[in-house]
Amino acid sequence: MKRLLINIKKLVHVEDQPVPYLRGAEMNQVKEIANAFLEIEDGKIARFGEMSDLHGGDIAGVAEVLDCEGKWVIPGLVDSHTHLVFAEPRAQEFEDRIHGLTYEEIAARGGGILNSAAKLADKPEEDLYDEAMTRLEEMIHTGTTGVEIKSGYGLTTEAELKMLRVAQRIKRMSPIPVRVTFLGAHAFPPEYKENKEGYIDLIINEMIPAVAREELADYIDVFCEKGYFDLEQTDRILAAGVKHGLRPKVHVNQFNAFGGIETSINHGALSVDHLEVMNPEDFDALLKSECMPVALPSCSFFLSIPYTPGRELIDKGLPLALATDYNPGSTPSGNLLFVWSLACIIMKLTPTEALVALTHNAAFALGLEKEMGSIAVGKRANLIISEDMNSLGHIPYHFGRNSLDRVIINGTDFRHLEP
């Protein structure tokens, strides 16, 4: 089935010869076509160009023609870092932080990740699935057209596998691409507080083989942070994951910088995520790699912690992706439009740089760059169409507001997920 979008005010980030990702100054130099058309066939981008190149015969056989006068058509946004499957929100901890407790202090009292793990253990898979699908639908309405889902709130073999099975069910049922990441190394459960080596052994010798055997994950993650998993532990867990075919996507440098980036890169990490705290050697290691730095500005906003130095990363010639970190403790939001605003307002990215970080580079951070992230023939017709606007900055300028006219998934207007 063919669909034709015509009179597009601006068709943004078109590629005639697609590349895996953009870095440095390239992120602010994307190609646009004014007064454009875009043809969709069988859910993929078939053709695009200036309206002057479109003729009467081109409309023959087109099932629907959508007039986009005044509107911009942009690649759909991609969220490469979420914890979408969880049991319950943690609003009480939100209040605790208002009263002065830090994230680390809340975790030390049994809150944080351990709180979510305790709530998830007894929750039926069906309930976890239904609630996660509701969150996913909200995300799609604000432009998310590809997503990652991590485990990490199980912390037992049984509960981690339960989370991953829910994520895999979402992957099968979702209209947008989903990638799944195993994060058994998210925190040490209370019963292993004095036996950390025992939990590492459980992850390496029981959890990872079970995940691989059931083909439940695409990637492996570790929360490499002081008070969680140190460099040596991270190194061993990542090595075990790679041995079982799980490529690393790693939490690093959220509160401390002590070599997690280099360790991740040494294991072929696809991305390193957070990066709120950076040392000079971290920049150097990234410059020598093909690993995607991923910033999570809505986490910084919610926790009142430093923001990833995105401006510095780009100015040094590095690529950058943006994601939400959607989770019940540090980022209870999956709104990438708000992330776009934060990237511009706080991190000082241009609207175009932030767009690339939310589309092209984010797709790379999920291994989806060949099918998403830019306007290119053969890629999925996962698109967002703006309301009437005069500049790309219109979207991040209107922070907290959905400035989209519609979201197109596989060539079709998205309305709601089937139950």
Q: Binding residue per annotation — 174?
A: no
Query: DSSP letters along 275-301, please?
Result: --S--HHHHHHHHTS-PEEEE-HHHHH
Angle at 365 between CA 335 and CA 305, to 5 degrees: 55
C-beta of residue 192 within 8 angstroms of C-beta of residue 232: no
Q: Binding residue per annotation — 90?
A: yes
Residue type, 325: D
DSSP assignment letter at 111: -
C-beta of residue 48 within 8 angstroms of C-beta of residue 33: yes
- d(C-alpha 80, C-alpha 321), whole Å: 8
Q: Binding residue per annotation — 251?
A: yes
Helix (H) or strand (E) holding 274: strand 271-274
- d(C-alpha 54, C-alpha 48), whole Å: 9
Q: Binding residue per annotation — 325?
A: yes
- d(C-alpha 295, C-alpha 343), whole Å: 9
Q: What is the dihedral of CA 166, 168, 174, 176, to 10 degrees?
A: 130
Q: Which residue has the tokens 């000082």?
A: 348
Q: Where are the beta strands (DSSP E) in 287-401?
A: 292-295, 321-322, 383-386
Give Cβ neighbours of residue 74 (< 8 Å, ≥ 6 apart).
Answer: 12, 13, 355, 359, 383, 384, 385, 386
Q: Which two tokens stand for residue 124?
A: 């039926």
Phi, psi of 393 (to 5 degrees): -65, -15
- d(C-alpha 414, C-alpha 384), whole Å: 10
- d(C-alpha 292, C-alpha 365), whole Å: 6
Residue type, 7: N
Q: Binding residue per annotation — 29?
A: no
Query: DSSP letters along 171-182, please?
Result: HHH-SS-EEEEE
Q: Binding residue per annotation — 274?
A: no
Q: Binding residue per annotation — 83?
A: yes
Q: Binding residue per annotation — 79?
A: no
Q: Binding residue per annotation — 253?
A: no
Burial class (CB in 10 A: 0-12, 13-18, 19+), 381: buried
Q: Where are the beta strands (DSSP E) in 16-114?
A: 31-41, 44-50, 64-67, 72-75, 77-79
The separation between CA 339 and the C-alpha centre of its own chain, rounded to angstroms, equals 11
Binding residues for Zn(2+): 81, 83, 251, 325
Binding residues for Fe(3+): 81, 83, 251, 325
Binding residues for N-formimidoyl-L-glutamate: 153, 327, 329
Binding residues: 81, 83, 90, 153, 186, 251, 254, 325, 327, 329-330
Binding residues for 4-imidazolone-5-propanoate: 90, 153, 186, 254, 330
